[in-house]
Amino acid sequence: MDAVRTCQGPGSWILDEPELHLGGDTLVPDLAGWCVERMPELPETPYFPLAPDWICEVASPSTAAIDRAKKMPVYAREGVQHLWIVDPTERLLEVFALTPEGWLLRGVHHDDAKVRAAPFDAIELDLSKLWNQPALPAGSSR
């Protein structure tokens, strides 16, 4: 596993549904990001052999088990430093960081929280922008 990597300068690639060829595994995360100092230009191949610095998976009933049981271990093995799992049904964001022991859950953010989460902790993310409907008052149901 690589030492902890962080982007040292401006610029990154953030792509939706890139095909990753990591070791013997082919995976397609919902979003992935690379620092430009690690990947100065996009590869000429239709896939990416370099592990991203950040991955975001959007959980759904059909993909949640695959994201956690299959993809997360591969991402850890390949040295992806940051992993977010967004669950629109539960209206939550789970933020993971890779440690020498494996994935560490750094935070769970709900509903309309304002979040600063690595590797984008320089900006505040308004989770309410991710959900189709506003949060219900406590004790209410849809």
Residue pair 56/81 in contact by the 8 Å Cβ criterion: no
Give the pLDDT confidence of 55-75 residue by residue, as tens digits.
Answer: 999 999 999 999 999 999 999
Is the pLDDT score of 142 beyond 60?
A: no
Burial degree of 141 (CB within 10 A; 0-12, 13-18, 19+):
exposed
What pLDDT is recorded for position 11?
A: 72
User: Which residues on adjacent β-strands are paired with residue 15?
Assistant: 32
Residue type, 1: M
Give the pLDDT confidence of 86-108 residue by residue, as tens digits.
Answer: 999 999 999 999 999 999 999 99
Q: How many domains does the chain have?
A: 1
What pLDDT is recorded for position 3?
A: 39
What pLDDT is recorded for position 67?
A: 94
Is the pLDDT score of 136 beyond 60?
A: no
CATH number at residue 26: 3.90.1570.10
**Residue 100 falls within a domain, yes or no?**
yes
The rounded percent of the chain whose pLDDT value lies above 70 is 86
* Calculated CA dihedral for residues 108, 3, 19, 117, nearest 10 degrees: 30
**Residue 6 falls within a domain, yes or no?**
no
DSSP H or E stretch at residue 33: strand 31-35
Helix (H, G, I), strand (E, B), or coil: what is residue 53?
A: coil
Q: List CB contacts of 87: < 8 A, sequence separation 6 or more.
A: 58, 59, 64, 93, 94
For 16, the domain range is: 12-82+91-129
Give the pLDDT confidence of 17-53 residue by residue, as tens digits.
Answer: 999 999 999 999 999 999 998 998 999 999 999 999 9
